Amino acid sequence: MNTFGLSFRLSIFGESHGDCVGAVVDGCPAGLSLSPDDLLADIDRRKPGGPGGTPRHEPDVPEIRSGILDGRTTGAPLTIVFANRNARSEDYEALRDIPRPGHADLVARIKFGGFNDARGGGHFSGRLTLPLVAAGAVARKLLAPATLKAALLEAGGSTDIEETVRAAGKDGDSVGGLIECRGSGFPPGLGEPFFDAVESLIAHVIFAVPGIKGIEFGAGFAAPRMRGSECNDALIDAGGKTRTNHSGGTNGGITNGNELVFRVAVKPPSSIRREQESVDLRTGLPVRFSAPGRHDVCIALRMPVIVEAAAAVVLADLMLRQQLLSRTAR
């Protein structure tokens, strides 16, 4: 299912080495001020840069091909397309029958009977997070003045992130990272029992992002070690403000008006220069190889804006479902 959302519906399409990647956003209220330029700040934050970034550089220029007129949304679906310019598919030819460990190569081959586009991960590539970031930028405009802000807390277990990434890159290796996202200004009441808890929907989209292995809200994995008297957040006013925020801004799956807080575990990129073991599917025999292509040492560096986007599309959907956003935005 390449579509998510009930009222603010996001569809994702494209492949890493195909013609383009893109998104269709259906249900965005009419009248929202929007131009391709509004997406650039978030798109830039997703670009490689800093230590250990992939040398594949894409211009990532968004074309909004439907749904806007005179700088405002019309109420019709927004179609946002990014042409792929800098794909080097030949890197992958040699490894057509050698699935890369940690990647979807083998499961995609099994699932789609070998007809999947395997070049650079195809539709499973992290490049598909680009249209997610674009849709997230639209969602954030809708959500303003509420904000979402994510940051990389540590990489490879260290807060000296730059040094950690540089060291791993020198070793032909990669590192993971831990990201925290905080949302401010969201009203109480977002989330829909039983299944559409705000945590349910955020986790749903977050785990669609390649490389995520865990998510926790508020006290998260520390909560099992707590007692109730410690974990409970005392209410200190009738609007729902709490003294502590171990719940991470929700109760019963509904926002409670306090800061929304969650953390996301990002694994180290699977593609590394160091030799790895796999199997040659033609012979069934073990092989050793180095990952082809151009890759990031620490994809988590580029993740904060993706995490924000995932949360933003969920919260825009829940705000519309709760009718706190007008169907004509202005």
- Residues 215-274 touching a second copy, rule: CB under 8 A, are 215-238, 240, 242-243, 246-248, 250-256, 265-272, 274
Q: What minimum distance in Å lies between the beta carbon of 275 and a second copy?
A: 9
Q: Between helices 129-143 and 304-321, what is the axis angle to 10°?
A: 50
Which residues in 2-31 contact a second copy (CB under 8 A)? 2-4, 6-7, 9, 11-15, 18-22, 24, 26-27, 30-31
Q: With contact defined as beta carbons under 8 Å apart, do 214 and 130 qualify?
A: no
Q: What minimum distance in Å lies between the beta carbon of 40 and a second copy?
A: 19
Q: Based on the shown chain and the rule CB under 8 A, indicate whether residue 292 belongs to the binding site for a second copy.
A: no
Say how many Å lie between the first and final Cα of the chain, rounded: 32
Which residues in 134-153 contact a second copy (CB under 8 A)? none
User: Rounded to 10 degrees, what is the CA torsion of 72, 255, 132, 92?
Assistant: 180
Name residue, tokens 């180290």: 268
Q: Which is nearer to a second copy, 41 or 252 (CB)?
A: 252
- Give SS3 for 247: coil
Q: Based on the shown chain and the rule CB under 8 A, indicate whether residue 278 belongs to the binding site for a second copy.
A: yes
Q: What minimum distance in Å lies between the beta carbon of 141 and a second copy?
A: 14
Q: With contact defined as beta carbons under 8 Å apart, do 188 and 242 qualify?
A: no
Which residues in 302-321 contact a second copy (CB under 8 A)? 321
Q: Based on the shown chain and the rule CB under 8 A, indicate whether residue 79 belongs to the binding site for a second copy.
A: yes
- Cβ neighbours of residue 44 under 8 Å, at least 6 residues apart? none
Q: Which is nearer to a second copy, 148 or 161 (CB)?
A: 161
Q: What minimum distance in Å lies between the beta carbon of 76 and a second copy?
A: 4
- Give SS3 for 310: helix
Q: Which two tokens stand for residue 168?
A: 């791993």
- Give SS3 for 107: helix
- Give SS3 for 44: helix
Compute how many residues bind a second copy; rule: CB under 8 A.
150
Which of 48, 99, 136, 304 is close enough to bind a second copy by CB under 8 A? 99
Q: Based on the shown chain and the rule CB under 8 A, indicate whether residue 62 belongs to the binding site for a second copy.
A: no
Q: Based on the shown chain and the rule CB under 8 A, indicate whether residue 170 belongs to the binding site for a second copy.
A: no
